[in-house]
Amino acid sequence: MKLKRPPISIEQKIEIAKYPIIAVPFFGTAIPFQVRRLTAAQIKSCGNITLIASFDNRIKEQNGRFTVKEMVAFAERNNKILQECLVAPTYEQLLSYLNIKEKNELIKKQIEDLQKIIYECPRGPKKQSFEEELDGLRIWYDLIIPSETSSFIVAFVLGINESDIRKVNREMLLNAAYLAERGHDNPSDHLPGDFTDFMKDDINLQAWTTLDEEKELLRAG
């Protein structure tokens, strides 16, 4: 599938020039996309994201038993990242290229209508059925971009493949937290590697959480 770019203004050309062009897998071929690398603040604005316990790894660990609510949260975060990072084409333009913009808008309307129904519906099996239907629509709405395309773009703008974040495990986090507790500093100070500012924040949060869990296990044991 070949993307036809619409005419752009001089101002848009200047803005686009600031961002890298990458070759993204798109229906079996490589298509140029222009994207912006996201700052720590921009990533955090997309939701509660950790790059350490990745979605794919958790799927394998749990034999595919990922809860619907977790899937909904993942899909929503993924969608927000795409909308935040895509420069050319923009997210809206990409939907148009794929001829799914109208379908996406229809699903959005269905979601809004269903939310109103759920709000007015009393607790019970019927409301639960509506909520399950809503979850399915939200996942479909947020994961409407082909997964090979969205996964590649998200990994790039978060800097995952160029960093050491995938190598971080529980033992490393725990050791870094113990050292930070003794040194009165941050766990990321004791975990050398190639990490972005967001990844260092992620390491700090996950390390302290891991240490708290370990102490709780020791108290219970």
**Which pTM value belongs to this model?**
0.77
The CA distance from 161 to 165, in Å, is 8
Confidence label for 1 from pLDDT (cuts 50, 70 and 90): low
35: which strand partners? 86
| pLDDT (tens digit per residue) in 27-63 | 888 999 999 999 999 999 998 888 886 545 555 555 5
pLDDT at 131 over 50: yes
Task: Tell me which of 51-55, 73-77, 172-176 is least confident.
Answer: 51-55
* Residue 94 in domain: yes
Domain span at 49: 1-69+80-98+147-162
Residues 93 and 152 in one domain: yes
Residues 126 and 22 in one domain: no
73 against 7, higher pLDDT: 73
* Residue 135 in domain: yes
Helix 170-183 to helix 197-220 angle, to the nearest 10 degrees? Answer: 90
| pLDDT (tens digit per residue) in 15-28 | 666 788 899 998 88
Q: What is the pLDDT of residue 87?
A: 92
